[in-house]
Amino acid sequence: MIILNGNYGEGGGQILRTALAYSTILQKAFEINDIRKGRENPGLKNQHLYCIKALRKFCDSAAEGDELGSLSLKYWPKKFIGRNVEIDVETAGSITLLMQSVLLPSMFAGKPFTITLIGGTDVSWSPSFDYFNNVLLPQLQRFCRIEARILKRGYYPKGNGKIEIKFNQSFKLIDFDSFGGFVEKLSGSVPKYDLTEQHNLIQIKGISHASKDLQQARVSERQSHSAQKTLARKFNVPLSIKSEYHDTLSIGSGITLWAIFSKRRDDIDEKNPIRIGSDSLGERGKKAETVGEECAMELIKEMESKAPADRHLADQLLPFMALLPGSKIRTSEITQHSLTNIYTIEQFLGKKFEVDGDIISVL
């Protein structure tokens, strides 16, 4: 059984989510101790327990210590079987964080199926759905054809947002006798990651959204216009930020922006996309113009680093990069989150990564 230090680096949720994903595809049990030790409210929280519950929708896995506040957990995986399921994380639990445990196994189920998720689509301390859909997913299409769409926004505290993710053509993990063979097979059939240069800025896109309660105050449009004004002062490229409103249980708003680059000035490389993103959430007492400007300034900061992967994308790509030896990315910042993710992955695979300055390479 693989033993993990749940207090390593930033600890807690990130280690658990990545461990659940790798445990499932490798069929290796693990134990994690000292979960969120030293925090104000240590141990497992509901958002962590729902990752385990979600995986049980696909496999008859077993766990010990899967209860609120537990400082340790043992997990025994079973074969993952792709099937159409609905997962309700309740209230505003982050849908995109939950997917960090489910996404990797789903991509190698070897059959088409659909996951419907209910919960928080745009909440603090997690990627927004639009970032997930427009920055991360384009990087994963080399493994599996994935389509995601939002049916309803879900803001804090009541959530109740709804998204649908369809997994189509993918690889069959069960075709290989060992994970080593799996990696060897992928290396010859899936292009490795090569994200070391930004190249040419082609366009900037975005989505600004708000609950219908804020439509009269034109919150979505004000966020969008503020972001567009800030970006237009810096870049002379096509700018397109969509504004939309949703029926929601809680009042809320947010904006996600992404910049698209390419080696060729007149064409976008879909096989090795270069996209940098940022997002920002509205909150009571915060002007919509401020929300839009903050999101734009964060995107500008990432773009000015000249790295083709923003710091959040680098962290989220690591579990997938590890499957493709020779992959290399340059990021604006090597975060503690990324180092924690590297630690977790290497407990399952052995030494896989090399970090040199702002470049992460797969051995």
Active site residues: 337
Question: 331 - beta bridge partners?
Answer: 309
CA dihedral 195, 200, 205, 206 (to 10 degrees): 40
Residue 118, strand partner residues: 88, 162
Cβ atoms of 138 and 277 closer than 8 Å: no
Q: What is the DSSP letter of 134?
A: I
228: its two tokens: 């567009």
Distances, alpha carbon 284 to alpha carbons 214, 287, 291, 324, in Å: 12, 8, 11, 44
Let me know: does 304 contact 328? Beta carbons within 8 Å.
no
Tokens 């960090």 map to which residue? 100
**Which residues lie closer than 8 Å to 6 by C-beta, 6 or more apart?**
12, 15, 16, 32, 33, 34, 35, 36, 37, 71, 72
Which residue type does 244 have? E
Strand 113-119 to strand 62-64: parallel, antiparallel, or no bridges (unpaired)? unpaired
